[in-house]
Structures are given as structure tokens and as C-alpha cells.
Chains A and B, each alone.
Chain A
Amino acid sequence: MTVFSGVIFTIGLGVLLIAVMKSLILEQVLTGGIGSIILEQAPTEVGSANIVSSVLLAYRGLDTLGELTVLFVAATAIGLVLGQRSPDTKHDSEAGFILRSAADLLFPFMIMLGAYIILHGHITPGGGFQGGAILAAAFFIPILASPASPLNHKVSSLIEGLAGTAFILIGLFALVGKGYFLAPLFGTGDIGALFSAGSLPLLYLAVGLKVGSELAGLLARLQEV
């Protein structure tokens, strides 16, 4: 019975969505959305070659702060739910020699790749979130290889808190200096150069560190329950 009503509900929703898509594709009313204005103005106002980055950190910087906060909320709630790690938890057995040395070898390269992606976020595709995820993976693979040496949660939560604070402080600095929260600072520079787009790389660094430490802590927490 419930299966039947579920199928009916889904089919009804499907018909509705088809009608919606049909009118979307046929009418395509959208011409002068804010997207086109941003495409024109972003290079001069923010100076980042990657316009998605300028939208993410300048035009919609508050969204990014909110997103970091959601990650932080989730990490805090997971800490609350899973509780303290009991000291006598059984570890999984150590992985073999090959996996452990591969993990050790991989570690510096993944850190470098993550840092590169974070720091070039304003000129090429990529940025804080993607680089942060790679940093998290870099710290998580050694844990998988040798589960007895856990992630240092103190350090990761310290980075977490300080990176979030740094993001807010950059925003407040702009509030004091320019009168607007999260306004771009330090001019625009040459578009496409590594040192360009003002405070964007700094913000991306904070985002990357926060996302990286948050995800690494999360993965380690779920692994060691």
C-alpha cells in the first residue's frame, strides 16, 4: 500500500516537473539576469580571473561564511553525538608495508597539490573547498594505513577555530576600513597574476584550512568510533 502511494506521489511530481521544464526550455525568458552584470563588472571590481571565485568570496562572501559555519555546526554536532573516544577502543590492524610506505610517500605530494589548488583558486578552477578536500584526504590516508596513530584532534580543532576566526576578522577589517563587511581589500592587481585579486587568496586560504581540518577531523572521527 505505501509502496503504491509512494509511486503515485513520485509520478505526480514527475508530471509537475516535466511541465515546469517544458516551460523553462521553451520560454527561456532569462536575458538580463544579474549573472551577466557580474560577468561585466567582476574583472574591474574584484580582479580575479576566475569569476566563480569572485562571486563566491566577494559578491556572495556571506554565503561562504555561512557554509563554513554549516560545516562547523555539523562537526560540532558529530562531536556531541559520537562523544569522547574511549581509550580502550580496539584498533584495526596495521596495513601492510606497501600501503604504509605508499601513504608516507603520497603525503607531501597531496599536501602540495592541495596548497597549489587553494592558492591558485582565484586564477584557475579550484580553490578553498577543492583544495581543502584534498588536504583532508592527505591527512586521512595515513590514518587508514596505520590506524593506531590517530589524528591529533586538538591541532585540527585549533586550526578549525582559528581559520574561521580569520575569515571573520578579514571581513571585519574590511568593515572598519571600507565600511562594508567582507569588502575586497588591497586593490585588484593584474588579472591573472598570482598576487592579484586583493584579499581573495587570503580568504581562500582560510576557507581551505577550515574545510581541510574540518573534513579530516570528521573522517577520523567516523573511522575511530
Chain B
Amino acid sequence: MLFGIALISIIIMLGSAFAVLFFENYLASVVALSVMSLALSVLFVVLQAPDVALTEAAVGAGVSSVILALTLRRIGLWQDKS
């Protein structure tokens, strides 16, 4: 059961990490990064680290993605192709 959850979240995590690097659109990359952080925080719960999971969800998936998105909007890469 736990192993299944771990495996699925690892697959999602690595998949979205690939997507971060290979998406053409920067905003899509940021969304993928956010998904990666969420999958990572699920994995942290499986690995018995609830504190870290909370932090990763709040800081990694939340604050970090917002900062990235704000920056992209400032420099006008909101929709650009790379």
C-alpha cells in the first residue's frame, strides 16, 4: 500500500521534473515545478516526515512557484516560447 503510493508519487515527481526542463512554455514549466513539489511532499509523508511535507507544500509548491510566476510576468516571458 505505502509502497504503491511511494512509487506513484515518484513517477509523478520525475515525470514533472522532466516536464519542467522540456516544456517550451515557461509558465507550463512553473506549473510542472509546482506539481513536482506536491508529489515530493506526498512522498515526504510516506517517508514519515510530516513537518517537512508541510514545509515543502507551503514553501516549495506555494511561495516558490508564486515568486517564479511573478518574475516571469515582470520580464514578459509569461507566454513566450523559449
Contact = CB atoms under 8 A, between A and B. Distances in A.
Contacts of B74: 222, 225
B50 A219 contact: no
A134 B54 CA distance: 11
Interface residues on B, range: 10 to 19
A219 B55 contact: no
B62 A219 contact: no
B67 A133 contact: no
A50 B50 CA distance: 10
24 contacts: A50-B51, A52-B51, A53-B51, A125-B50, A126-B51, A126-B54, A129-B55, A130-B51, A130-B54, A130-B59, A133-B59, A133-B62, A134-B58, A136-B63, A137-B62, A140-B66, A215-B63, A218-B67, A219-B66, A219-B70, A222-B67, A222-B71, A222-B74, A225-B74
Nearest to B56: A130
A223 B70 contact: yes
Given A125-B53, A137-B62, 12 more contacts: A53-B51, A126-B54, A127-B51, A129-B58, A129-B59, A133-B59, A133-B63, A134-B58, A136-B63, A218-B67, A219-B70, A225-B74
Contacts of B66: 140, 219
Q: List 6 A-B pairs, minimum CB-CB distance, nearest first.
A: A125-B50, A133-B58, A130-B54, A222-B70, A52-B51, A125-B51
Contacts of B58: 129-130, 133-134, 137
Contacts of B62: 133, 137
Nearest to B45: A125
A219 B74 CA distance: 13
Contacts of A126: 51, 54
Nearest to B60: A133
A39 to B, nearest CB: 13
A136 to B, nearest CB: 7
Contacts of B70: 219, 222-223
Interface in A162-201: none
A134 B61 CA distance: 12
A137 B59 CA distance: 10
Nearest to A136: B63
Contacts of A218: 67
Contacts of A134: 58
Contacts of B53: 125
A140 B74 CA distance: 17
A129 to B, nearest CB: 5
The winner among A125, A126, A136, A140 for most chain B CB atoms within 10 A is A125
Interface in B13-61: 50-51, 53-55, 58-59
Interface in A123-158: 125-127, 129-130, 133-134, 136-137, 140
B62 to A, nearest CB: 6
A109 to B, nearest CB: 15
